[in-house]
Amino acid sequence: MDKVSDRLTVFFEEPFWVGVLSEAQRENYRRVRLRLERSREIMRSTSLF
């Protein structure tokens, strides 16, 4: 069975809350940055490599 590791970090970067989702599986690693607005909807997501 493969080992998968996920981590969500949330911080405030004026004027938005920002979430960074990190995922590691086998040799693959992926990070996604999410910018959240007051209504808690996801406005934009950007893959970080």
Q: What pTM value is reported for the model?
A: 0.59
Condensed to tens digits (0 to 9), the pLDDT of residues 27-44 reads 888 888 888 766 544 555
Predicted pLDDT at 9: 92
Contact at 8 Å (CB) between 43 and 33? no
DSSP 3: -
Q: What angle do CA 10, 11, 17 make, to 5 degrees?
A: 90
* CA–CA separation, 21 and 40 (whole Å): 16
Average pLDDT value for the chain: 77
30, 45 Cβ separation under 8 angstroms: no
